[in-house]
Structure formats: structure tokens, C-alpha cells
Amino acid sequence: MNDWVPFEWIAASRFLKEGRMQTLSILAGIGIGVGVIIFMSAALAGQLANVVRRVLSAQAHIVLVPPQEVARPLRGPEVAEAAIVQRPLQRVRSIDQWQRIIDEVAAMPAVTAVSPMASGSVLAVRGEATRSVSVQGVEPDRYFRIVPLPDKIVAGAARLGADDIVIGADLATDLGVRVGDKLNIAVASGQRATLTVSGIVDLGSKGANMRTTYVALHTAQALLGLIGGVSSIDVTVRDIYAAEDVAQRISALTGVEADSWIKTNTQLYLAISAQAIANTTIRFFVGLAIAFGIAAVLIVSVVQKSKEIGILRAMGASRGQILRVFLLQGAVLGLLGSVIGSALGALAIILWGALVRNPDGTPLFPLELDPELFLAAAILATLSGLIAAYVPALRGARLDPAAAIRG
């Protein structure tokens, strides 16, 4: 008995120590449950981060494009209304006031990077071979903060001078070009240019590798007839799941059309959401099982200790004191169980990293030991213990001391 320890702590710890087997069994149960929750949470976070990294590292979170052109029929007493209004063709147009829009969007706290782009369809010509490709004119410094092209380079460098072009790996193979070779670019309007292949990139998908080329913004503007203009603005945001909200705010602020990755990859987003919901459900039920386990052990303990409770009440212990003795036992079981569970979870995460690997030996996807996850597990388990202990504790506190002593 240390002098600074209150009565409730002393009684709670002694009761737990006295029922050693019971305490150890429930601690093992809580530990395994918390371990499962921690591992599943880390697995979900790791898997999501992996999918998102793979999908979103090759595209912007939000793309701003000029508002669609619509045909507005005149209305008035002397004008007959057309029965059919044909949709106008959507030609490549520049975003009006794009430099002001970039400044405004970049100033938003939710936004991490903004990059203008002039893109359009062109033909890549090499000798007899011709391929229809998309040319994307970018400012390297800005664009590389959105799509880290230098990380994806497989040959050459991500250099985009006025005469340089970086092309997809499959396009390079198709056309038989290597770094340093010349490539002719022809546009439907008749514009032509001869550019030097400065780098070859692997964008992670055959489709993208077949038709993607990057040039400097000015080069694309000249080729596409968009002098001084841009056809779209790429944006990345801090919280990828808030992309749609941010897109709507940008749209309202600037009047341009803003498409978030959530809107353009609806199926992927739904799959991620469904997995998160399934995971949360499983974690909730594991947590519930832990809480019932703690409650069951404490209910038994209250029955076993009813005589002691009666004696304590007879010597002047208040109902509140008895209530706290059992609440504390619940909280201590939750906390200790979460420490064991954290160790088990961490072990599982480390084993996962060591054992589950791709055929090439790299980890399937990395799982992180996030301190916040362990802290959250400890707080949640302790709270669950407290809540689970409430009913047994109340039962103990309400025991009639005379009946309890009589047994």
C-alpha cells in the first residue's frame, strides 16, 4: 500500500490480482481483440494508401476545365423557339483568366499544388509509323508536384525544354525511338514540330504508356494554337477524400468546371468506401465482444466478491466507493488488454511486412506502425472497459450489505 494510492485503486488492483486466472484469461481475450482491430486498421489504411497512391500518383485530384459551351436559343415574342437545339462542338479552348484562377486556387488552405496544362490530340510520326497521342504541355516545376514524373522515368530524364518531349514506354517501343531520337508531331490544324525525346516514362498502365507525351507548356501552346492559354488546370488537395467538396468550392469561386477524382473514378471510390464500411463493422463487433467479455468477468467477480463488498459497506465504504472499485477494474482491464493488443498488433504488422511480399520480393503494400492508432486503441479499450464495467459495478454498489454478508 503506497501512501499516495487511493482506496479504490488499492482494492481494484488487489481484486484483479486475487482472481489471477480470470484476469489473465480476459486480458488474453482483450489483447487478441485489440490486436485484430489494430492490424485490420493498419491493413485497411495501408491498402487504401496503396490503391490511392497507385491511382492518384498519375493524375491530379481535381481538374479544372472551361465551362462547356452550350447553345442558348433566343426567346421572345418574335422569335420562334427551335424544336431541336444541337449541342455545339467542344473545341479546345483556353480557360478565361487562368492566371488569376491559379492564384485564387493556390491560396486555398485545402490545396497543396496547382499546375496549368495545355493538352490536345496530335499525331506522333516516325518514318512510316504514325500514332495518335495526347500531348500534355506543362510547367515542369509545378506539374511534378502533382505527378512526380521524375520518379517514373525509365530512361533519360524528365527534362522539358522548348524542343524536348517525354513519351510513354509503350509508345517508345511501338515507334522504335530511344532517348535522344527525333520525333515529329503533327496537329490536325497543320502545325508541325520536330522534338527530341528527352525521357521515357512508365505511368503504370499500358493505355497511358501508349498515348501520353509531355512537352513544355509553351511548346504545347504553339502546337495547339492556344497562345498564352491553357486547356485545363490540375490541382492536388491535402485530404483526398475531401476532393469533391474542394472541387465544388473552386467551381463556385471561379466559375470554371471542376472535376474531382471521386467524380471521375466513381467505381473506385465506391469500392474503397464499401471496404472501409465493412472494416469498421468488423472492428465494431470485435470491440463489442471485448466489452461483453469484460462485463461478464466483472459480473462474476461481483458475485464472488459480494461478501467482501458487504464487509466493506459495513465498515463504512460508500456506494460510490464500491462503484469506483469495479469501474476501475474495467478500465484497468481495458488499458492492460490494449497494451497487450498493441504489442500483438505491432508484431502482426512487422510479420506482414517480412512475410507477405510481391513475386519480385518487394512488400505487397507497406503497413505503418502509426502511434495515433495505438493511442486511439488504448483510449477506446479503456473507455469500453469503463462502460462495460458500469452495470456490474452498479450491481455491486447496490448490494444490500446485510444480505451480502449473510451470503
24 binds another protein (CB under 8 A): no
By beta-carbon proximity to another protein, the closer residue of 247 and 322 is 322
Binding another protein (rule: CB under 8 A), the pick from 76, 109, 190, 316 is 316
321 binds another protein (CB under 8 A): yes
Q: Which helix (H) or strand (E) holds 349?
A: helix 319-355
Angle between helices 319-355 and 20-56 (to 10 degrees): 50
Binding another protein (rule: CB under 8 A), the pick from 111, 317, 388, 399 is 317
394 binds another protein (CB under 8 A): no
Q: Judged by CB under 8 A, which stretch of 103-111, 163-171, 267-275, 396-404 contacts another protein?
A: 396-404
Binding another protein (rule: CB under 8 A), the pick from 211, 283, 313, 395 is 313
327 and 382 in contact (C-beta within 8 Å)?
no
By beta-carbon proximity to another protein, the closer residue of 1 and 84 is 1
Binding another protein (rule: CB under 8 A), the pick from 157, 270, 277, 314 is 314
Q: In whole angstroms, give the CA distance from residue 120 to residue 79.
A: 38
Beta strand pairing status for 192-201 and 164-168?
parallel
What secondary structure does DSSP assign to 382-401, as a single string? Answer: HHHHHHHHHHHHHHHHT--H
230 and 98 in contact (C-beta within 8 Å)?
yes
Q: In whole angstroms, give the CA distance from residue 209 to residue 405.
A: 82
375 binds another protein (CB under 8 A): no
By beta-carbon proximity to another protein, the closer residue of 11 and 138 is 11
Cα–Cα distance list, 394 to 275, 327, 334, 367 (Å): 39, 9, 18, 42
- Residue 5 is classified by DSSP as S
318 binds another protein (CB under 8 A): yes
223 and 187 in contact (C-beta within 8 Å)?
yes
Phi-psi region of 93 (alpha: psi -120 to 50; beta: other; left: phi over 0): beta
By beta-carbon proximity to another protein, the closer residue of 277 and 314 is 314
**Beta carbon of residue 268, minimum distance to another protein (angstroms, whole number):** 58
133 binds another protein (CB under 8 A): no
Q: Judged by CB under 8 A, which stretch of 105-113, 183-191, 310-318, 353-361 contacts another protein?
A: 310-318
Binding another protein (rule: CB under 8 A), the pick from 308, 328, 332, 334 is 308
Binding region for another protein (CB under 8 A): 1-7, 10-11, 14-15, 17-18, 307-308, 310-319, 321, 400-402, 405-407
